[in-house]
Amino acid sequence: MALCNVVSKYCFLQRPACQIVCSAGLKNIKMPPNYDHIVLPEKRRLRFVDKVPMFISGNMKVPRTHKHLDLLRGPEEVHNYLIHNQYGIVALKGGRMTYRHFEMIRYSIMRKLDIKKMFAVWRVDDPWLPVTKKGLGQRMGGGKGAVDHYVTPVRPGRIIIEVGGKGSYEEVLPYLRSIALRMPFECIPCNVQILEDLKREKDKENTQNINPYTTEYLIKNNVGNCQRWMNKMDLKYFGKYL
């Protein structure tokens, strides 16, 4: 008994000061998430996007249309949710995606995404809207210019790409954020919880606003003859989606 006391006293004196105050605690380690219910598709990479629409043949003259700026404004009412209920990139403002933006997203996903356990799908159409452009040094007039390239119009709230599989949101967040920063319009990486929070914030602004003189009230009642200098998109969406 005395030997045990001496040994314990010796060990106590030789122990550093930083190790004197210590106690054993119960560690609650969380279980990793289970992804057994997720079924991976056969094609897990983003497919190649055509630079020119498929309906354009070699001998066909491309129809030159208007700019269709109304396709960039207003809420997205169809592709505004995640089909696989996992991760993706959502547009906060309207804009146009060219062929270069599609290739940038595709190459970024190919380099960073683990195809063995993850997959990615497009949620936007291929470039289909023709954009005309005149050459440098040409005079004004002479009609509308020739078709230069094709774009895809995107409205606020549109899901651009969707990523899913056997992985967490923290794994895909770094390269989804880098893709969103290089887009021509404002985008953010998202999951189901982030989309619900964005929708809840919009509802909160409409329900908890105590100021009765909203933009919708001013436009509908033509306060200050404001309808005279407003366009049809402002009259339809009441100053939103600029």
Which whole number is the average pLDDT over 78-104? 96
Is 22 within the bounds of a domain?
Answer: no
* One-letter amino acid of 130: P
Residues 116 and 204 placed together within one structural domain of the fold: yes
Q: Which candidate, 119, 144, 112, 141, places its Cα nearest to that of 130?
A: 144
In a domain, 128, yes or no: yes
Query: What mean pLDDT value characterizes the chain?
Result: 87
Taking residues 152-179, what's their average pLDDT? 95
Is the whole-model pTM more than 0.75?
Answer: yes
In the predicted model, is pLDDT for residue 32 greater than 90? no
- Domain-embedded: residue 86: yes
Q: Assess whether 110 and 228 both reside in one domain.
A: no
58 and 68 inside one domain: yes
For a pLDDT cut of 70, what percent of the chain falls above it? Answer: 89
Distance of CA 164 to the CA centre of its chain: 14
The residue with greater pLDDT, 238 or 59, is 238
Measuring CA to CA, which residue among 173, 77, 84 is closest to residue 121? Answer: 84
Look up the domain containing 223 and give its range. 210-242
The CATH number of the domain holding residue 51 is 3.90.1170.10
Asked whether residue 192 falls in the same domain as residue 219, the answer is: no
Mean pLDDT value across residues 203-214: 90
Q: Angle 146-106-98 (CA atoms, 0-180°, nearest 5)? A: 20
Asked whether residue 166 is assigned to any structural domain, the reply reads yes
Tell me: pLDDT of 76 over 70: yes
**Between 61 and 126, residue with greater pLDDT:** 126
Looking at residue 11, its pLDDT comes to: 42
Nearest to 151 by CA among 69, 75, 48, 77: 69
| Residue 7 maps to a domain | no
Q: Check residue 22 and give its pLDDT.
A: 57
The string of pLDDT tens digits covering residues 120-150 is 999 999 999 999 999 888 888 888 888 999 9
Tell me whether residue 54 is in a domain: yes
Is residue 17 over pLDDT 60? no
174 band by pLDDT with thresholds 50, 70 and 90: very high
Q: What pLDDT score does 241 carry?
A: 85
Same domain, 102 and 186: yes
| pLDDT at 6 > cutoff 70 | no
Same domain, 232 and 128: no
Q: Is residue 84 part of a domain?
A: yes
Split into its structural domains, the chain has a count of: 2
The predicted pLDDT at position 240 comes to 86
Q: Round to the nearest angstrom and report the end-to-end CA distance of the chain.
A: 84
Which pLDDT score is estimated for 45?
A: 93
